[in-house]
Amino acid sequence: MGSLAAADEPLPPLKYPQVRRDDGIVDDYHGVLVPDPYRWMEELDSPEVEEFVDAQAAVADAVLSACDDHRGRLRRQLTALFDHPRFRAPFKRRHDTYFYFHNPGLRPHSALYVQHGLGGEPRVLLDPNDFSEDGTVSLGMVGVCDGGDHLAYGTSASGSDWVTIRVMRVRDGEHLPDTLSWVKFSRIAWTGDGLGFFYSRFPAPRDGGEALDSGIKTGVNLNHEVYYHFLGTEQSQDVLCWRDPDHPKYIYIPEVTEDGKYVILSVSETSEPVNKLYYCDLSALAHGLEGMKGTTHGMLPFVKLVDKFEACYGLIANDGTEFTFLTNKDAPRYKLSRVDVDEPESWTDVLPEDEKAVLESACAVHGDKLMVNYLSDVKYVLQMRSLVTGELLHDIPIDIGTVNGISGRRVDSEVFIEFASFLTPGIIYRCDVSTEVFYPSKDGTKIPMFIVSKKSLSLNGSHPALLFGYGGFGMSMTPQFSVTRVVLMRNLGFVACVANIRGGGEYGEGWHRAGSLANKQNCFDDFIAAGEFLVSTGYTNPARLCIEGGSNGGLLVAACMNQRPDLFGCALAHVGVMDMLRFHKFTIGRAWTCDFGCSENKEEFHWLIKYSPLHNVQRPWEKGADDSRCFRGSGGQYPPTLLLTADHDDRVVPSHTLKFLATMQHVLRAGAEGSPQTNPIIARIERKSGHGCGRSTQKIIDEAADRYAFAAKMMGVSWID
């Protein structure tokens, strides 16, 4: 066992940059005046913001440089453990052709392989590592036509959500001239004849002069449209299939049924799990899609099967006019329902809602069979059922872990299952270990949490612990393999914890609703209670408890840090939604009002202002002695805090983190002589990167080494050889 004396050495005094405050910016929210002195940070391309970012990066570099011993060891160990082969579940097309993603170890991105037959020789079809020298251009989406002749794929630069689609022949890798721009929130949906595909895009800027790679675009995305692209043609010739100027906020995702007869549009307006359903019978078009070319024809004659935002519907299969959907209509834990589109008012349940388990997914395979995937107490259960009746045919045993994907089609007899767990990096199953605890939250609700650690852990309160959470948008936090988690446990002695707080989907839509809108405080209460449980049961102590989360989880970390700074020894908040009063004004932020609410509504404003991280930074040392927060872990200050964002994040724009960073440093008088806030408040601002998707392996390793070296240094954790 080795140790690092530097782990306990204090940091030198930090000098934070002076930041301009515009005290003249004050908004009136329903009679409540709210200052926004850092509004200028929303102009992300301005020289002043760039200067602020550079100055803050210098502060962060100074702090992280003091963590170099940890950083070097972490980087080497992470690199060694990341160097293992990784596969994604294959998908099959005609002529026994299989496609799959594979990374042999340390390549920046996984490549797409193709092989003929399971025993065939694989070859690289598309390698994203060739897209750019620095690995910042990634593969955003792929679609292979049914015949397996052509691949359409989308690339995104610097982590942006904007995608450019290109097309190549599979047999020789030759690229076609086709290039489709301004694509966002789309799917590549090939028609059965392989002549082209449906996709979704936004209109190009009216001035026409702004290229996709010209910098981050924070404007609100409106007027989504659906087009059909014929192979070998210019984008300007694409057929406009659907748009609705009366509803500019609608988002359309096209999907073609396996029989090739119908195109389905899933229509959404927010991130809420509800959508409308439109369909078009392609076989009923007099002259096919070819007849839609030119400007004299109208849009496709879509029929509105479901025209209310009252439930979520996901296509599973169709037999002629009979469609089977996965839905939460009157079923918060989801069920399978069937409808004949010729009788759209008559719906029947094929697989009713389970009394306890959540129906996560279903995949129609091998004719009339159905592989279903349940989530029961945050553990997955696989079953084979009848697509016709829903009858259970047999169970499919799996360990505790996560089913990351099921790949199969009705025309094939084989199914591929992609599985991972806390201790298993990834297994692909083909078919013809951790502790889970339950702890009480503030209101008595039992919350599940996974705890992963070395065997025979002595519960004496001395161990460093990493507590991770999300709690939003119905997303379930299930067991996943993580190289970084293994290194933390093996070489730094961490206990790794994942709290399945309300707001997620672990117990269905009711669990989600219990942590959204007016109930959002439940998320923070659940996460704080998780920390209290870990301390009270002897897993850790406040000085050694690090909390972490990203996006909505970044909001979670920041809000909990504001509410209980005494409970945590370190905070890592990635790309968090920090300004809850203005998030809806940028890019796709309007879609999150279903979970958060909107400050333009008086009642919802009063929910948001109570926990918005930007508006609730306070000086702990100025609290009264009878305050419910006893600052035993923090020394009367905020814990060491590392905020993480990226300059091309066009989902949660960087201004959230920049404004929150400036506010924390100002309110807490960080770096000022005599200020009790001696713990560092810094930000790691990634360049040429986005919200997290499409990052290269090296960027993942470097960021993990930085943030966990910071946590180890701040909490006095020594390296274990």
Of 327, 289, 293, residue with least CA distance to 308:
327
Cβ(292)–Cβ(230) under 8 Å? no
691 annotated active-site: yes
Output the six-digit token pair for 496.
């790794």
Distance, C-alpha 206 to centroid of its chain: 31
Strand segments, DSSP code E, in 566-661 are 570-574, 641-646
- Measured CA to CA, the distance from residue 366 to residue 43 in angstroms comes to 54
User: Distance (Å, rounded) from C-alpha 712 to C-alpha 544?
Assistant: 9
Contact between 354 and 344 under an 8 Å Cβ cutoff? The reply is: no
Which one from 551, 612, 655, 689 is the annotated catalytic residue?
Answer: 551
Question: Rounded to an integer, what distance in angstroms lies between the CA atom of residue 481 and that of residue 548?
Answer: 17
DSSP state of 234: -
Distance of CA 607 to the CA centre of its chain: 24
Which of 649, 650, 702, 706 is catalytic? The answer is 649
Angle at 464 between CA 459 and CA 468, to 5 degrees: 105
Contact 547, 524 (CB under 8 A): no
Residue 400 and residue 381: Cα distance in Å, rounded? 9
Decide: 561 and 497 in contact? Cβ < 8 Å. no
Is-catalytic flag, 551?
yes
Strands 32-35 and 26-29 come out as antiparallel
- Do residues 531 and 453 make contact, with C-beta atoms less than 8 angstroms apart? no
Beta strands 545-550 and 570-574 are parallel
Residues 503, 472: Cα–Cα separation, whole Å: 4
Helix, strand, coil percentages in the chain from 3-state DSSP, rounded to 5: 25, 30, 45
- DSSP 8-class letter at 542: G
DSSP string, 617-634: ---GGGS-TT-S---TTT
Contacts of 189 (CB under 8 A, 6+ apart): 143, 197, 198, 199, 254, 255, 256, 263
Q: Give residue 506's Cα distance to chain centre.
A: 16
Q: Catalytic: which of 36, 691, 706, 718?
A: 691
Sheet arrangement for strand 322-327: 313-319, 322-327, 335-340, 343-351
Q: Is 649 a catalytic residue?
A: yes
User: What is the sign of the dihedral through the CA atoms of 596, 597, 599 and 603?
Assistant: negative
Give the pair of three-digit tokens for residue 665: 């440093």
| Residue 239: CB atoms within 10 Å | 21
Treating both helix axes as pointing N-terminal to C-terminal, what angle do 552-563 and 602-611 enclose, rounded to 10 degrees?
70
> Strand 570-574 to strand 251-256: parallel, antiparallel, or no bridges (unpaired)?
unpaired
Cβ neighbours for 370, distance < 8 A, ≥ 6 positions apart: 316, 336, 351, 362, 363, 364, 384, 385, 386, 387, 390
Amino acid occupying residue 185: F
| Three-state secondary structure readout of 680-716 | CEEEEEECCCCCCCCCCHHHHHHHHHHHHHHHHHHCC
DSSP state letters, 326-389:
EE-TT-TT-EEEEEETTEEEEEEEEEPPPSS-EEEEEEEETTTEEEEEEEETTEEEEEEEETTT
And the tokens for 136? 């910042």
Q: Which residues are catalytic?
A: 551, 649, 691
